[in-house]
Amino acid sequence: MIWNEPNNKSHWDPDLDPDWSIYADTVIRAGASIHAINPAITRVLGGMSPIDPLWVNRLRGHGALDAVDVVAVHGFPLDWNLWSIHAWPDKIAEIEAAVPDKPVWVTEVGVGSFGAEEVQVFGVKRTAELLIGRVPQIFWYSLFDLPQEWGATTRHREAEGSSYYRHFYMGLIRADGTPKPGLEEYAKVAGEMGLMQWFHYQDPRLDDAVAWMKRLGTRKLRTGLSWADSFRPNARDWFDRQMDALADFDVTVTFCFTPEHLGVQPHHTSPARDPQQFADFCAEMIDRYAPASPATMEVARGAPLAANG
């Protein structure tokens, strides 16, 4: 996946890229670089939040949709969105109408327990009813609560009031490691609805996450590899450990977060001064963790694929 929520100010600065032309260029370059390394990789447009067909059409005008295979959406109707949870089919249909030639994935959907844990139980159940069978891929956000001492990646943090503090209650497992009632409801659909879980640099929860997902029967996971983190000491060692731990799952990886020294402004939401540098990072990660097989490259070059004897 090429970035996370690029139409959300908490993840991409619209003051620096008001028409998303730099983001579109970033997508085009990253999509081409990923395809060059492994043509079999499914390239996903960064999951949009809010769900906005006009934004999708703007990216089409910039040529970005030609560089991806899937369009993705994120939705949190009981926490942040201004629409009912029951409107999920309508929201999917809006994007399908804007992009009839590409599948639509729901790469983040969640309901927090900020108000009451019973609300999350309802949210898991109703989301499964509405989305399983409606879209090809669904990722529930998230397995773990975000510890409050880590802070949440938002633009205005505590000034956002309860909207900010909801970020710390989105998990199915509390920050102290104990399960919420929603986990039992999720377990009923774990084989059909994946999980979205960010792992921070040197995240101590990685092994516990793997154990929980195997116990639940989760098959698909969405996570991230941070371009900004790639400049930390021993970053490749951490990336290797993370991806090795997740090897038993079908993983959708999100590439995002600008290193401060490479941004138009020194912030992780800034567009890169040179988007090709982000594309090169994507290519490096694909080559490291999902390289093409010889057969895939032969097909990409137009050579006939030999039958196995």
Residue that is written with structure tokens 């402004």 in the block: 265
- Identify the pLDDT of residue 126: 98
Q: Which of 239, 220, 13, 219 is nearest to 107 (CA)?
A: 220
129 CB contacts (<8 Å, ≥6 apart)? none
Assess contact for 141 and 112: CB atoms under 8 A: no
Q: Say if strands 138-141 and 104-109 run parallel, antiparallel, or are unpaired.
A: parallel
Assess contact for 110 and 135: CB atoms under 8 A: no
Domains defined for the chain, CATH in brackets: 21-300 (3.20.20)
pTM of the prediction? 0.93
Cβ-in-10-Å burial (0-12, 13-18, 19+) of 50 comes to: middle
Question: How close are the terminal C-alpha atoms of the chain, in Å?
Answer: 36
Q: What is the CA radius of gyration of the chain?
A: 19
Q: Which of 85, 82, 208, 188 is nearest to 145 (CA)?
A: 208
| Distance from C-alpha of 256 to C-alpha of 202, rounded to nearest angstrom | 17
Strands of 123-212, DSSP E: 138-141, 194-196
Q: Kindly tell me the sign of the dihedral angle through the C-alpha atoms of 145, 150, 153, 156.
A: positive
80 CB contacts (<8 Å, ≥6 apart)? 163, 166
Assess contact for 65 and 102: CB atoms under 8 A: yes
C-alpha pair distances (Å), 158 with each of 30, 113, 167, 290: 34, 18, 11, 39
Q: What are the backbone angles phi and psi of residue 199, rounded to the nearest 5°?
A: -115, 120
Q: Say if strands 250-256 and 220-226 run parallel, antiparallel, or are unpaired.
A: parallel
What pLDDT tens digit does each residue of the chain (309 aa) get? 999 999 999 999 999 999 999 999 999 999 999 999 999 999 999 999 999 999 999 999 999 999 999 999 999 999 989 999 999 999 999 999 999 999 999 999 999 999 999 999 999 999 999 999 999 999 999 999 998 766 666 655 555 455 677 878 999 999 999 999 999 999 999 999 999 999 999 999 999 999 999 999 999 999 999 999 999 999 999 999 999 999 999 999 999 999 999 999 999 999 999 999 999 999 999 999 999 988 777 667 664 433 332
Q: Which of 174, 178, 173 is nearest to 195 (CA)?
A: 173
How does DSSP assign 13-65, residue by residue?
-TTTSTTSHHHHHHHHHHHHHHHHH-TTSPPBBPPBSS--HHHHHHHHHTTGG
Q: In terms of residues, how long is the chain?
A: 309
User: Bridge partners of 60?
Assistant: none
- Identify the pLDDT of residue 153: 67
- Identify the pLDDT of residue 304: 42
